Amino acid sequence: MELAIFYIILAGLFALFMAWGIGANDVANAMAPSVGSKAITIKQAILIAAVFEFAGAVLAGGGVTSTIRRGIVDASLLENQPELLVFGMLASLLAAGTWLVIASRKGWPVSTTHTIIGAVVGFAAIGIGVSTVQWPMVGRIAMSWIVSPVIAGVIAWLLFTSVQRLILERDNPLLYARRYVPIYMFLAGFFMTWVTVDKGLSHIGLDFTTLQSNLLAVAIGLGITAIGTFFMLRIPYQEPEKRDFHFVTVERIFGILMVITACCMAFAHGSNDVANAVGPAAAVVSVALSGNVTQEAIVPIWILIVGGIGIVIGLATYGHRVIATVGQNITALTPSRGFAAGLAAAATIVMASGTGLPISTTHTVVGAILGVGLARGIAAINLRVVGSIFMSWVITVPAGAALSVVFFLILRGLLG
Amino acid sequence: MNSTGYISRIFGASPVRPLQRHFDKAAKCAHKLPKFIRATFREDWSKADAAREKIILLEHAADDLKRELRLNLPKSLLMPVSRSDVLEMLSRQDRVANKAKDISGLIIGRKMVMPEAIQTDYLAFLERSLDTVTQARKSVHELDQLFESGFRGAEVDLLMEMTDELSRLEDQSDDLQVHLRRSLFAIEKELPPIEAMFLYKVIDWTGDLGDIAQRVGSRLHMMIAR
């Protein structure tokens, strides 16, 4: 294919642009439950975000990337005009990146996932032809957008109710916190590892049998529990008579759990959202390199790394400020709540990433927070704002689609 | 770029602190009554005026807090307690301050001085009613622990005990009220009839203080039960 190098460089730059936008803005919303609970400092949150977003992107970001790359557009129909797919994917990246910058500037709640899916569907359906879109897959994705906040909400409800039952409602919550919090630590470490390993790390050259992945998950879970318990035991025990400080100490124990949850959340966000930037770029690269659209190959790892780097740059240049403001504005989430919401969201996102479904991190987090609220865990949730966040996709999907059609026509006019 | 992050906007303001601050003001207002009453016993009307002035100021302050909290409780809030319970509790709390203002207003307007025979008894009765207010205030201050524990278990039991104690205090203040009325009845023939009538009224309203405080507690019960 002529201009192959040019297309690849362009795709890399556009992907970097969009990943930058995700790092600058979206990470803050993903990390909100963690930084809001004040269990970790802003600096720690940024460090955790940088490390685990990158790890999530590289280790677990492959599935969703593949879905965006070749699950939505039926590439076999474009066999004779592979450059159409290149233009379309480039246009989608530009459209999504532009829309994210506009929306972030205005403070509109948008989802990066909804934007990029809207953009890809848009250029394919309107720019090329309705039949090029694999509608069953698009339907599955749309369903997952409804299901994921619900699942996260249910998990959060269960987690927080169990915390109430096992710890908070006791005569001596501190004693029971010291007893049960390590179990939650294990659960978090075990589950995140298990999903990541189970769906395969083949793209980085690691293949595990079921037994191996189970053992690895148990080992990592136990390791995290050991480290967490070490820090927990450094918090001095208090007799329950000092009741006013009692819950404060209980929350400090949950604070350690919160650090683990923050890592899980950053990892999950990286695994799901980096694909939004990297998926289209991966499609461009594979077409440009091979000259045909149907080639089946795993996502090259260097593209995932580019996405991870973009997110970290976004964090470093702008995202840290957003995280700081979000952290200061959320005072309602104490660590015992933030942990339930964060872990539920992270689990849901990683599960979805494992099946290759691109879901919206923000919506999942909101669903999880609602779940805690329904378990009587949060003093006040403004349902009108929740509604506006959930409704945001109504404008986001068509906006992403419209912009991508415009960019597609421009690119085809210039380069085609 | 807009840097507030929309997730932080989904959290509404918790009604707990405002409720507590409001009742602090209302209770403080009621607790100015003994000073005021003692001044009237000495017929020191300038001192009484000063005390009455403080009561009015505190009542206004409570009113302002009440209005502020109401404005911050839109219907779209999802709370662990029902919105109507919060609003109802707020208006009950507010009536403590209103009652204190009414009592002082009636006494100062008519330049009433209690007959010496019932002065000590009245003060004891007033203090007991105010104990009820204090106990209700303590219960309201358990609200944040209650929110923290998620409305379950040991914390709920503790609050139940506190409201039981509230009822006991209210019963005691009722007994004192009966006793006080009897004492007043014994001497009412010697008093100007209108004066006697209003003395009964003051006793009634003082009893109301304890009554209202107890109802604040019972609303707390309903909040937990949802």
CATH number at residue B93: 1.20.58.220
Q: Which residues of A touch B224 (CB under 8 A)?
A: none
Instruction: Please name every residue paired with A382 in a beta bridge, in sequence order, or none if there are none.
Output: B77
Rounded to 10°, the helix A4-21/A82-106 angle is: 20
For A301-313, write each residue's pLDDT tens digit: 888 888 889 988 9
- Are the C-beta atoms of residues A344 and A56 closer than 8 Å to each other? no
What gap in Å lies between CA A58 and CA A300, rounded to an integer? Answer: 10
Q: Which residues contact B62 (CB under 8 A, 6 or more apart)?
A: B22, B25, B26, B29, B93, B94, B97
d(CA A216, CA A197): 8
Of B11, B80, B148, the CB nearest to A382: B11
**Residue B225 CB-density burial (10 A; 0-12 exposed, 13-18 middle, 19+ buried):** exposed
Residues 6+ apart with CB under 8 A from A407: A90, A91, A92, A94, A95, A123
Q: B13 — contact with chain A (CB < 8 Å)? A: yes
In a domain, B144, yes or no: yes
Q: Is A317 on the interface with B (CB under 8 A)?
A: no
The answer to whether the Cβ–Cβ distance between B152 and A168 falls below 8 Å is yes
Lowest model confidence (mean pLDDT) among A185-194, A240-249, A277-286, B56-65: A240-249
Distances (CA, A) of A152 to A149, A181, A189, B80: 5, 20, 18, 19
pLDDT of A181-201, one tens digit each? Answer: 999 999 999 988 888 887 656
Considering only residues A281 and A297, tell me which one the structure prediction assigns the higher pLDDT. A281
Q: Per-residue pLDDT for B1 more than 60?
A: no
Average pLDDT of the residues of chain A = 85
Q: Residue B7: inside a domain, yes or no?
A: no
Residue A285: per-residue pLDDT: 87
Res A50 pLDDT > 80: yes
- B1 falls within a domain: no
CB contact under 8 A, A318 and B6: no
pLDDT at B23: 96
Task: Tell me, yes or no, if A174 comes closer than 8 A to chain B by beta carbon.
Answer: no
Q: What whole-number distance in Å separates Cα of residue A352 and Cα of residue A63?
A: 9
Q: Do residues A269 and A311 make contact, with C-beta atoms less than 8 angstroms apart?
A: no
d(CA B26, CA A414): 73
Q: Six-digit token pair at B40?
A: 């009237």
CA–CA min distance B86, chain A (Å): 12
Interchain contact A241–B (C-beta under 8 A) = no
CB contact under 8 A, A365 and B7: yes
Task: Give the separation between CA B179 and CA B122, rounded to whole angstroms.
Answer: 10
Residues of the domain holding B22:
14-225
A159, A330, A391, best to mutate vs chain B, most B CBs in 10 Å: A330
For position A200, what pLDDT does the model report?
59
Rg (CA), chain B: 20
Would residue B6 count as lying in a domain?
Answer: no
**Cα end-to-end distance, chain A, whole Å:** 13
Here the contacts of B2-5 (C-beta below 8 Å, separation 24 or greater) are B2/A104, B2/A105, B2/A106, B2/A107, B3/A321, B3/A322, B3/A325, B4/A107, B4/A325, B4/A326, B4/A329, B5/A28, B5/A29, B5/A32, B5/A322, B5/A325, B5/A326, B5/A329
Are A27 and A314 spatial neighbours (Cβ–Cβ below 8 Å)?
Answer: yes
> Considering only CB atoms, which chain A residues are within 8 Å of B226?
376
Question: Which of A95-104, A109-118, B118-127 is most confident?
Answer: B118-127
Evaluate whether residue B2 is within a structural domain: no
Domain for residue B138, yes or no? Answer: yes
List, for residues A199-245, the tens digit of each pLDDT value.
656 666 667 777 888 888 899 999 999 999 999 988 887 776 655 56
Question: B80: which residues sit within 8 A by CB, 6+ positions away?
Answer: A373, A376, A377, A378, A379, B147, B150, B151, B226
ipTM: 0.83
The CA-based angle B29-B161-A251, given to 5 degrees, is 85
Interface test with A, best of B11, B81, B141 (most A CBs within 10 A): B11
How close are the terminal C-alpha atoms of chain B, in Å? 42
Q: Per the structure, how many domains does chain B have?
A: 1
CA distance A152 to A157: 8
Q: Identify the band that residue A409 occupies on the pLDDT scale cut at 50, 70 and 90.
A: very high
Residue B50 has pLDDT above 90, yes or no: yes
Contact B74 A362 (CB under 8 A): no
Q: Spell out which residues of chain B touch residue A321, defining contact as CB-CB under 8 Å.
A: 3
- Model pLDDT, residue A129: 85
Which two tokens mark A50? 């940088």
Q: How far is A407 from chain B (nearest CA, A)?
A: 23
Contacts 24+ apart (CB under 8 A), B64-69: B65/B18, B65/B21, B65/B22, B65/B25, B66/B22, B66/B90, B66/B91, B66/B94, B68/B18, B69/B15, B69/B18, B69/B19, B69/B22
Q: Is residue B8 part of a domain?
A: no
The Cα A348–Cα A357 span in angstroms is: 11
The total of other beta-carbon atoms located within 10 Å of residue A297's CB is 11
Reported as type and span, the H/E element at residue B65 is helix B45-71
How far, in Å, CA of B192 to CA of A341, rounded? 69
Q: pTM value?
A: 0.89
Residue A402, both tokens: 């419209």
Rounded CA-CA distance A144/A85 in Å is 25
- Asked if residue B28 is part of any domain, the answer here is yes
Residues of B in contact with A97 (CB under 8 A): none
**CA–CA separation, A41 vs A320, rounded Å?**
11
Least Cα separation, residue A89 to chain B (angstroms):
26
Strand partners, A201: A206
